[in-house]
Chain A
Amino acid sequence: MTSDRAQLVNASLAARVAMPAPASARPGAQFAAGLLPVLPAVAFLLLFFVAPLVQNGAHSIWLPSPQGGRLSAAYYAKLFFDSYYLTVIGQTLLLSVIVTAICAVLGYPVAYFMVRHAGRWTGLIIFLLVAPLLTSIIMRTFGWSVILARNGVLNSTLLGLGFIERPLRLLQGPSSVIIGLVHVLVPFMVISIAAVLKGVDRRLEEAAQLLGAGRLRTFREVTLPLSLDGVATGSIVVFMLANGSFLTMLLLGGGSVVTLPLLIYQQFLLVQNLGFAAAMGNVLLALAVLSLFLQLRLIRRQGVHR
Chain B
Amino acid sequence: MSETRVLRQVERRIPQALLLGYVLVFFVFLLAPIFFVVLVSFSDAAFITFPVTDFSLRWYYRLLEYTPLLASLWFSLKLAAASAILAAILGVPAALALARSTSRVADVVSTFLLAPLSIPMILLGVALLYYLSAMGLGLSFISLLIAHTVVSIPYVVRTVVAVYRSVGRDYEESAAILGASNRQIFTYITLPLIGSGIFSGMLFAILISLDNLSLSLFFGSAQTNTLPVVMLSYLQNQFDPAIAAIGSVQMAIAFVVLLMIERTVGLEYMSSPS
Interface residues, chain A, with chain B CB atoms under 8 Å away: 4-5, 7-9, 11-16, 31, 34-38, 40-42, 44-45, 48-49, 51-53, 55-56, 59, 106, 109-110, 112-113, 117, 126-147, 149, 151-153, 156-157, 160, 183, 186-188, 191-192, 195, 215, 233-234, 237, 240, 243-244, 246-247, 251, 261, 264-265, 268, 274, 277-278, 281-282, 284-285, 288-289, 291-292, 295-296, 299
Give the CA-CA distance A11 to B185 in the complex, in Å. Answer: 12
Q: Determine whether the beta carbon of A136 is less than 8 Å from that of B96.
A: no
B7 at interface, CB cutoff 8 A: no
Q: Determine whether the beta carbon of A41 is less than 8 Å from that of B273.
A: no
- A38 CB contact (under 8 Å) in B94, B123, B210, B262: B94
Q: Determine whether the beta carbon of A36 is less than 8 Å from that of B97.
A: yes
Residues on the B chain within 8 Å of A38, using CB: 93-94, 97-98, 109, 113
Chain A proximity of B69: nearest CB distance (Å): 12
In the complex, residue of chain A having the shortest beta-carbon distance to the beta carbon of B189 = A8
Residues on the B chain within 8 Å of A284, using CB: 120, 122-123
In the complex, residue of chain A having the shortest beta-carbon distance to the beta carbon of B36 = A146
Residues on the B chain within 8 Å of A186, using CB: 30
Q: Determine whether the beta carbon of A41 is less than 8 Å from that of B113.
A: yes
Give the CA-CA distance A8 to B171 in the complex, in Å. Answer: 14
Give the CA-CA distance A131 to B34 in the complex, in Å. Answer: 10
- Known A143-B32, A244-B120, A284-B120; judge A56-B130 contact (CB<8 A): yes
Residues on the A chain within 8 Å of B247, using CB: 135-136, 138-139, 142
Q: Determine whether the beta carbon of B178 is less than 8 Å from that of A12.
A: yes
Q: Determine whether the beta carbon of B157 is less than 8 Å from that of A146.
A: no
- A131 CB contact (under 8 Å) in B20, B218, B255: B255
Chain B proximity of A239: nearest CB distance (Å): 12
In the complex, residue of chain A having the shortest beta-carbon distance to the beta carbon of B103 = A31
- Known A16-B179, A38-B94, A55-B127; judge A251-B235 contact (CB<8 A): yes
In the complex, residue of chain A having the shortest beta-carbon distance to the beta carbon of B119 = A288
Within 8 A of A (CB), among B145-183: 146-147, 149-150, 153, 157, 175, 177-181
In the complex, residue of chain A having the shortest beta-carbon distance to the beta carbon of B180 = A8
Q: Determine whether the beta carbon of A138 is less than 8 Å from that of B218.
A: no
B40 at interface, CB cutoff 8 A: yes
Residues on the A chain within 8 Å of B194, using CB: none
Residues on the A chain within 8 Å of B180, using CB: 8, 11-12
Q: Mark B242-274, 1 if CB is under 8 A from A, else 0.
A: 011001101100110110001000011011111
Give the CA-CA distance A188 to B223 in the complex, in Å. Answer: 35
Q: Determine whether the beta carbon of B243 is less than 8 Å from that of A142.
A: yes
B56 at interface, CB cutoff 8 A: no
- What are 23 sample pairs from A and B whose C-beta atoms fall under 8 A apart? A8-B188, A38-B98, A38-B113, A41-B90, A41-B91, A49-B115, A51-B131, A52-B131, A110-B26, A113-B19, A113-B23, A129-B271, A130-B271, A137-B228, A139-B34, A139-B231, A142-B235, A146-B37, A156-B49, A156-B51, A186-B30, A187-B30, A285-B123
